């Protein structure tokens, strides 16, 4: 009998305050100005980019005898391909929708200039936020998440287990909270003249729903997690990885919500 079951992990993630955080409702309730929108999208983009590769988890899981895991992880990585660009296409559209009259003066010709504009807006908007990395335009909580997910490069067995728990948590959050929250704030809020069928919003459409990318990721990592929990001595590391990931996401949301409230 494992000391942490998949049901207990489910409970840890579902009950965590991050899973019911109000950050996206705050965004849906009030349209952010240009700098606040840019800063918000830049942090979310940096956070998501950090979750898109599985590092060395496949090797680590193979060494633990988890033969089905590498293929499942490959499918997750495969489905993430191109999503940095889809995200930037959506960001560009939202920036234009926020300042339609000024839009032709914004440097948005290609996706790298869109990325650079998001960084500049972040630097400007987050200037007085404690702990911000001024040149990068990143909140300390965003950097924290990047460092956290970079640990997926570690193939020590305890760290592999920790990273599996972390991945379960982040995929559950993405599927059940982040993507539905972004859809409420972006597509259903009336802030922007957009809908989910438009090519600019392909990012959200591809991730959402029962057959969307996030549902597929959650299913895959759930299977990997359940198999790994057969190793009794690793279960606590899986649980800890899930818990800490939820904490990191919750702290990230707290500061983003503060930025959205005052801009």
Site residues (vs Fe ion, CB under 5 A): 171, 174, 214, 217
Which residues, listed in sequence order, are joined to residue 133 by a DSSP beta bridge? 138
Taking the alpha carbons at both ends of the chain, their separation in whole angstroms is 51
Nearest CA to 224 out of 158, 150, 167 is that of 167
Nearest CB to Fe ion, comparing residues 53 and 62:
53
Residue 90 buriedness (CB in 10 A; 0-12 / 13-18 / 19+): buried
Minimum CB separation of residue 157 from Fe ion in Å reads 24
Give the nearest distance from C-beta 126 to Fe ion in angstroms: 26
CA 258 to chain centre: 18
Tokens 């459409």: give the residue.
205
Q: How far is the CB of 217 from Fe ion (least distance, A)?
A: 4
Q: Cβ closer to Fe ion: 77 or 97?
A: 77
Q: Tell me the two tokens of residue 103.
A: 């839009």
Residue number, 126 or 208, with CB nearest to Fe ion: 208
Output the residue with the shortest Cβ distance to Fe ion.
217
Cα(103)–Cα(85) distance, integer angstroms = 20
* Least Å from the CB of residue 221 to Fe ion: 9
Q: Toward Fe ion, which CB reaches closer, 171 or 200?
A: 171
- Residues pairing with 138 in the sheet: 133
In whole angstroms, the minimum distance from the beta carbon of 171 to Fe ion comes to 5
Query: What whole-number distance in Å separates Cα of residue 227 and Cα of residue 231?
Result: 8
> Among residues 52 and 157, whose Cβ is nearest to Fe ion?
52
């Amino acid at each position: 009998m494992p000391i942490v079951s998949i049901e207990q992990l489910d409970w840890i993630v579902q009950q965590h305050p991050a899973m019911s955080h109000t950050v996206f409702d705050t965004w849906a309730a009030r349209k952010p100005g240009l700098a606040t929108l840019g800063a918000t999208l830049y942090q979310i983009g940096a956070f998501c980019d950090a979750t898109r590769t599985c590092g060395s988890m496949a090797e680590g899981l193979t060494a633990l005898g988890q033969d089905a895991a590498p293929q499942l992880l490959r499918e997750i990585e495969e489905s993430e391909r191109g999503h940095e660009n889809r995200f930037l296409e959506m960001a560009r559209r939202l920036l234009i929708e926020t300042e339609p009259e000024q839009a032709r003066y914004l440097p948005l010709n290609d996706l790298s200039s869109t990325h650079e504009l998001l960084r500049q807006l972040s630097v400007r908007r987050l200037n007085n936020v404690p702990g911000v990395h001024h040149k990068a335009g990143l909140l300390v909580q965003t950097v924290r998440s990047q460092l956290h997910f970079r640990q997926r490069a570690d193939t020590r067995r305890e760290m592999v287990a920790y990273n599996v728990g972390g991945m379960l948590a982040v995929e559950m959050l993405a599927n059940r909270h982040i993507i539905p929250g972004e859809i409420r704030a972006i597509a259903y809020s009336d802030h922007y003249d957009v809908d989910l069928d438009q090519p600019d919003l392909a990012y959200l459409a591809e991730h959402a729903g029962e057959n969307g990318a996030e549902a597929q990721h959650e299913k895959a990592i759930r299977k990997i997690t359940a198999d790994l929990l057969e190793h009794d001595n690793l279960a606590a590391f899986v649980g800890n990885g899930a818990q800490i990931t939820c904490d990191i996401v919750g702290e990230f949301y707290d500061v983003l919500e503060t930025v959205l409230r005052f801009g």
